[in-house]
Amino acid sequence: MSSQLAAVAKALVAPGKGILAADESTGTCNKRFAALNIPQTEELRRNYRDLLFTAPSFGSYFSGVILYDETIRQNGRDGRTFVEILQAAGSLPGIKLDTGPQQLALANPGEKITEGLDGLAKRVDEYVKLGAKFAKWRAVITIDAAHGSPSDACLHANAGALARYAAICQAGGLVPIVEPEVLMDGDLATQSLETSLAVHERTLHHVFNELHRANVVYEEMILKPSMVIPGLKSGETASVRDVAQTTLTTLLRYVPAAVAGIAFLSGGQGNEEATAHLNEINVLAKAENAPWPLTFSYGRALQQPALHLWLGDDAKVEAAQAALSHRGLLNSLAAQGKWSPDLEKQRDLVATR
Ligand code: 13P
């Protein structure tokens, strides 16, 4: 069992590959559809995921896909299950296991705790039977200077939940993606780069303490952190180099070398911005001999161009797929430190590689 999990973890962060996060809950997916006047039906959610997973060269860029409960049970347009479609494309199916964040009792207003631990071992068993190889759990950490958030109570509770989730996954046969997201968007995100750094350090310290206490095997897990970036409402801009250096330094301080890999979330960064940051992190990681592969596990920064082209229209499927493959290739290059801004404009890039 254990060496199998280590092999899955390694495959998820194989050179030049990353993860597509397509695990928006039905509510979140509907919200994104509604904003673009796409009807919010199960069929269109299915058609959209079908479009993504059957894009050209999908398996060359995406080692795995995080699915939502509805999607892992659906069939694609050709009748195969999505699990079969991904397997045929050479991409591993994964599953979101958390049931979302709720207000943390007796904590500062706006401090969240992620739920979903009750009955988790049974759900893991079922998803393993459905073909899942890995899982995700997202903790949400909000910075709010006015209330002194995040509190230690919030960081401790979320780290504890992440650790219990990760242990249950490893015991049940899934590689856990451990995702502590320090929010960079939203109305409260006015933090400086320096504050973001301090909160990331506290967060990672709590997370690895709890993972250690829970006996989680680092070689059989992936860390999915946010990058260290000033809040979108801070008015501060940091250079690509500063973001990359600060992010890498923080990870080198707090993440054990045995962790199989690090796959970042995009968290509200622009598409090109998320790619530029990942590229620079890899350039620096090479120079500093960082011990783990560093890649992407983006949702919005991968899907946005495709969704905006598709708009629910069957006639636009090919154009939308080309847009996803384009971002897949650019991020694959960034995961190797081989991206450059001029490649963004080359529309025929996928065909020429
Ligand atoms: P974003 O890249 O859109 O932040 O999504 C990644 C994810 O899986 C969040 O849980």
Judge whether residue 1 has pLDDT over 70.
no
Ligand 1 proximity of 206 Cβ (cutoff 6 Å): no
Task: Calculate how far, in angstroms, residue 123's C-alpha sits from the geometric centre of ligand 1.
Answer: 22
Mean pLDDT confidence for 314-325: 98
Could you read off the pLDDT of 125-139 as tens digits, one per residue?
999 999 999 999 999
Q: State which ligand 1 atom lies nearest to the alpha carbon of 21.
A: 8
Judge whether residue 186 has pLDDT over 80.
no
Judge whether residue 2 has pLDDT over 70.
no
Could you read off the pLDDT of 236-285 as tens digits, one per residue?
999 999 999 999 999 999 999 999 999 999 999 999 999 999 999 999 99
The answer to whether residue 224 is catalytic is: yes
Ligand 1 proximity of 328 Cβ (cutoff 6 Å): no
- Please say whether the beta carbons of 206 and 156 come within 8 A: yes
φ, ψ (nearest 5 deg) of residue 294: -125, 115
The answer to whether residue 179 is catalytic is: yes
For 22, what's the count of Cα atoms within 13 Å in the CB-facing half-sphere? 30
